[in-house]
Amino acid sequence: ETGVTQTPRHLVMGMTNKKSLKCEQHLGHNAMYWYKQSAKKPLELMFVYNFKEQTENNSVPSRFSPECPNSSHLFLHLHTLQPEDSALYLCASSQRSVASGGADTQYFGPGTRLTVL
Amino acid sequence: AQSVTQLGSHVSVSEGALVLLRCNYSSSVPPYLFWYVQYPNQGLQLLLKYTTGATLVKGINGFEAEFKKSETSFHLTKPSAHMSDAAEYFCAVSDRGGSQGNLIFGKGTKLSVKP
């Protein structure tokens, strides 16, 4: 495997289910991200992990719970979701450093298409 | 707060015609600037980025973009469109300094290429 992989690619769940999305990066990066992509809205940054520490939580509802056990893996645990949570969830990774100062390139996975019934 | 505006949610061009996708940012301090492309059922892929130096940046697949500070713009161009360029294009910015690197995206422009 190369780059950033995400599983599953498609997920349909009921509002009372619990499921998890998985992301794995094979690039040796130290930062990982979750984004939500909804129709007609800009990509929304949800969470950022830098060296396995969460550094950003953009007011995401608690029904979304991230987990970063190591710098290569990132999970998004889902429970009691709402239909409006249906979207494409994208994972990305990058190599952050003080030297790059915000110019690091993010590499994206193909996404998980989530449908909440 | 930093924001990105992409003029036109849909742009349609004929094959071989010039492609121009517009992007304006709001910051008074020039940020880092990025263009990403998303093909159907795929994630985003970096086309090009501007950090420092030459204001005309060349990217993959024949695309280029020019940073114009006076116009707070970073428009994406390609001289001759190809059918394979049909995709959605996203402009993004990242604030300078420190190790933040959080991207703020525009709403995207869907490019259609007619034969």
Measure B15 CA to nearest chain A CA, in Å: 26
Taking the CA of residue A97 and the nearest CA in chain B, the distance in Å comes to 6
- In Å, what is the CA distance from A47 to each residue of A68, A90, A113, B71? 11, 11, 18, 32
Which position has the higher pLDDT, A39 or A2?
Answer: A39
Residues A2-16: b if buried by 16+ CB within 10 A, e if exposed: eebebeeeebebeee
Distance, CA of B60 to CA of A40 (rounded, Å): 26
Q: Give me the count of residues in chain A.
A: 117
pLDDT above 50: residue A37: yes
Tell me, what's the pLDDT at B99? Answer: 47
Q: What residues of chain A lie within 8 A of the CB of B36, using their CB?
A: 108
With 70 as the cut, is the pLDDT of residue A1 above it?
A: no
The list of chain B residues with pLDDT below 50 reads 99
Comparing C-alpha atoms, which of A112, A117, A114, A109 is closest to residue A33? Answer: A109
**Nearest-CA distance A74 → chain B (Å):** 16
Average pLDDT of the residues in A5-31: 94
For an interface test with A, which of B26, B33, B37, B44 has the most A Cβ atoms less than 10 Å from its Cβ?
B44
Please state, in angstroms and rounded to a whole number, the distance separating the CA atoms of residues B79 and B20.
Answer: 9
Cβ contacts below 8 Å, chain A against chain B, sum to 73
CB contact under 8 A, A106 and B107: no
A48 touches chain B (CB under 8 A): yes
**Hey, is the C-beta of B42 within 8 angstroms of any chain A C-beta?**
yes
Q: Which residues neighbour B11 within 8 Å (Cβ) at sequence distance 6 or greater?
A: B19, B20, B21, B109, B110, B111, B112
Which residue among B90, B101, B105 sits closest to A102, beta carbon to beta carbon?
A: B101
State residue B100's pLDDT score. Answer: 65
